[in-house]
Structure formats: C-alpha cells, structure tokens
Amino acid sequence: MKTSSSNAPRASSKSRAMTFPWISKKAAMPSLSSICSARSMRLVPIIAMVTLLASCASPPLPPSSAPAGDPVAPGTRAGDSGPLPAPMVQGKSRWVAVRWAELPGFEEDTLFEAWNAWLKSCERPGPAFASLCGDIRRLSIASADEQRNWMVKRLQPYRVESSQGAADGLLTSYYEPVLKASRQPGAGYEVPLYRPPASLGSRKPWFSRQEIDTLPEAKAALKGREIAWLADPVEAMSLHIQGSGRLNITEADGSQRVVRVAYAGTNEQPFRSVTQWLLEQGEGRMTAPWVESTKAWVAKNPQRAQQMLWSNPRYTFFQEQPLSELDTAFGPKGAQGVALTPGRSIAVDPGSIPYGTPVWLASRGGALNLQKLVLAQDTGSAIVGAVRADYFAGTGPEAGLLAARVNQPLRLWVLWPK
C-alpha cells in the first residue's frame, strides 16, 4: 500500500446517490479484571497478547461517570453531557460535534476487533493520539463496555460533513489479491512487475503505461528491475490498482514460496478507470467482479486488449517484502505506515481525516451493512472528498469478490481527543 498521501494507486472511482437507515449486531467480551485474575489468555485477540502481562499488572481504567449533579438525558451515556464543542474545519471537511447516541450501533459493535487496528495505529501515532496509546494498549483486553466507557470519557464524536454541509458520501472497498508468479520469464509468465527505476524522480510524470511498453528509453530504465512475472495482463493491472498483493511465486530452482509485493511508487500519471473506458466504448457496465469481467471482454476482443490496458496511463512500482506468520493475519502497510486490519481499516482523503484517526462508519444499501469502529490508515487516488472511504476487505479471492460489490452510501464520524 501507499506510504504517502499524494498518488496512491488503488481505490474504486465509482459513485452514486445516497440515503440512510441503519442496522446493528451484538457481541460481548469478558471484563478486564476477570481476565487478569484468571490469566485466561485463550480469550485474548492475537494482536493484544503482547500487552497482556503489562495490562494485568496495572489496575484497570475506571469506568467514566457523569459529574455529581450533571443531568444525563435519556439514551445518553454517563459522561456525555454538557455543552458540545464548536464545529471544526479540517482541510476539506467540516466536523460537527454530536452526542454519542447519534452513532448508529455504538452500543453493539464488537470493539475488540477494532482494537487490533487501533494498536497498529499506535505503532505510528499522530500527535493528537500519541498520549492515548498507553490506555489503548491496556484496554486491548478489556470488555467492550469498559472500552466504550473510556471512549466516551476521552473522545468527542464529530460528524464529518463537506464544507457545504453534506453528510452523505460514498463507500467502496479494496483488497489484497493473491496471484501466481514466476521469478523467471517464460512458460506463460510474461508480464513483469518492476521495482522503481533509478530515474523515477528525474522525470515527472514518468513514462506512461503505453510508453513503458513501447519506448526503448523506458524499457532500458527498467531493465534488471523485475521482481517477478505474472501470466495475465489483466491480473497485473488489478495488482497495480489495488497497490499491493501476495505472490505464490516459483523460484528459479523450482521451489515455491509466498511473498508480498507492496506499493513503492507510481509514474505519477493520472489514474483512468478501465471500467469507465469500457463504458465509453459501449460495452455496458460489467456485472461480474472486475478481473473476471475484464478477462471475458479481452477473450472476445483480443485485438483491443492493449488499447484497453493503455487507457489507464498510471503505472505502479513495487517492493518485495517477506511474509512472517504474524504478517499473514494482516494486510499490507497503508499510507500511515502500519499494517492494515481486514474489516477495520479504511482509506480516506487525508485532507479530510488525518491518518490514525478512529472513525465511526455507518453504511447500508449495498453489499455490506456496517455500523462499526474503523481506523483511517490508508489513502487512494480515487479517495477524494470529505465523506469518502475505501474499506479494506482483506486478502484473497473471497475478499476480492466482496470488494467488487461495494459501492454504497456512507456516513462518518471522527472520534477526536477531548
């Protein structure tokens, strides 16, 4: 995934009109005190195990409570009363303070799942959240109610709106593909994945996708920069759009292993949607997931395949990364510089929501019904605007099928330190 905010390659550019009702789901966690007394480590999420002993050695955080004599309105949590802060302007968005009761599903979310992503954000916290990370680590083994009480005590929810006051936006989704690859060209593997060329910074924008395929100067700059070869150009394009993936790679000696190729830069050419190009050619909207539907189109129109691929001048370069056993549970690193958590990380426009911000996400009316805590940990070239998010669905074909179906209404609330 991208590690700076300007030109991240992957993200859907689809859009449509939006309206909102909401849904919910329930789950429960044992209390922090019961876990500490029993040392019941089998109940602890994997990512929180490293903090268990320190957490149990410290007294649990007390639940928040309203000050004596402070009235609490019906449906309002203790501690969520008194005057609301004034609205804040954050670059491209306007934040309007609200009561916690406005957050749909706040009382039902399985917060411990989101805590994994929050712990990741604390590896590289922004200045606004750095002082909270000690509490966040301690609360990784707390009950959902203890976590909710702490959030109400320490954070203020703000509804994210456009500068014109629009609170409705768009949710799309992305994933980490898993592809077969070869360390050597040949035997059907002819589509290279490249590391960034040494001359990438000397020419802006760098050569387009078509120029990379045709110009001797571009080919010479990339010679020897190959990481691996793929068999299918449409799968390679998908990997360029998603920005990272895993390769089941055949090494030169015939052995097999899995590696990750992560985003390392682009040619800084504009991103153009291949789906939009196909629509403009009169092909109609693709009904199957993008890779399958595009492969089917290429099979029927082999003479136009190169033209279709060249319609998107953006080209992504990669870096190879090893995969440890722990890494396999998480996605690639996002723009914040931390590993993405499936179902709990989103890509945002950093001009609207800073990286590392906890966000309440609510979306329904499409493939997913979501009311949950997520972390803003990534960005993308098509993720632009105040109320805009790309939901990290995970790794592999099932995640890809889900991601391809998500194009639906969205509302967001940032949770900002008081």
Using the CB atoms, write b or e for 161-173: b if 16+ within 10 Å: bbeeeebebbbbb
The answer to whether residue 369 scores a pLDDT higher than 60 is yes
In a domain, 2, yes or no: no
163 with 53, same domain: the answer is: yes
Q: Would you say 195 and 222 are in contact if contact means Cβ atoms under 8 Å apart?
A: no
Q: What is the pLDDT of residue 313?
A: 97
The answer to whether residue 46 scores a pLDDT higher than 50 is no
Q: Of 327, 359, 386, at which residue does a domain stop?
A: 327
In a domain, 209, yes or no: yes
- Say which CATH number the domain at 37 has: 2.40.40.10
Q: How confident is the model at residue 186 (pLDDT cuts 50, 70, 90)?
A: very high
**Within 10 Å of residue 287's Cβ, how many Cβ atoms?**
7
Q: Of 327, 346, 378, at which residue does a domain stop?
A: 327
Beta bridge partners of 360: 373, 413
Distances (CA, A) of 62 to 71, 137, 145, 148: 20, 15, 11, 12
121 with 49, same domain: the answer is: yes
Q: How confident is the model at residue 26 (pLDDT cuts 50, 70, 90)?
A: very low
Q: What is the pLDDT of residue 317?
A: 97
323 with 403, same domain: the answer is: no
Could you report the per-residue pLDDT of 83-132, keeping only the tens digit for each? Answer: 999 999 999 999 999 999 999 999 999 999 999 999 999 999 999 999 99
Residue that has been written with the tokens 């590690």 in this structure: 3
150 with 50, same domain: the answer is: yes
229 with 312, same domain: the answer is: yes
Q: What is the pLDDT of residue 336?
A: 96
Q: Would you say 390 and 378 are in contact if contact means Cβ atoms under 8 Å apart?
A: yes
The answer to whether residue 32 scores a pLDDT higher than 90 is no
290 with 191, same domain: the answer is: yes
Q: What is the pLDDT of residue 379?
A: 94
In a domain, 23, yes or no: no
355 with 255, same domain: the answer is: no
In a domain, 13, yes or no: no
Taking residues 391-402, what's their average pLDDT?
94
Q: What is the pLDDT of residue 76?
A: 61
* The total number of structural domains that make up the chain: 2
In a domain, 158, yes or no: yes
The mean pLDDT value of the chain amounts to: 84
182 with 196, same domain: the answer is: yes
Share of the chain above pLDDT 70, in %: 80
Q: How confident is the model at residue 80 (pLDDT cuts 50, 70, 90)?
A: confident
Q: What is the pLDDT of residue 380?
A: 87
Cα–Cα dist 224/216, whole Å: 14
Q: What is the pLDDT of residue 287?
A: 67
In a domain, 291, yes or no: yes
Could you report the per-residue pLDDT of 257-275, keeping only the tens digit for each? Answer: 999 999 999 999 999 999 8
Q: Of 268, 301, 327, at which residue does a domain stop?
A: 327
86 with 138, same domain: the answer is: yes
Could you report the per-residue pLDDT of 317-360, keeping only the tens digit for each? Answer: 999 988 888 788 899 999 999 999 999 999 999 999 999 999 99
In a domain, 58, yes or no: yes
- Say which CATH number the domain at 187 has: 2.40.240.50
In a domain, 16, yes or no: no
Q: What is the pLDDT of residue 228?
A: 97
58 with 145, same domain: the answer is: yes
Domain that holds residue 50: 32-64+82-172+338-417
The answer to whether residue 408 scores a pLDDT higher than 60 is yes
Cα–Cα dist 210/319, whole Å: 22
266 with 353, same domain: the answer is: no
120 with 49, same domain: the answer is: yes
The answer to whether residue 6 scores a pLDDT higher than 60 is no
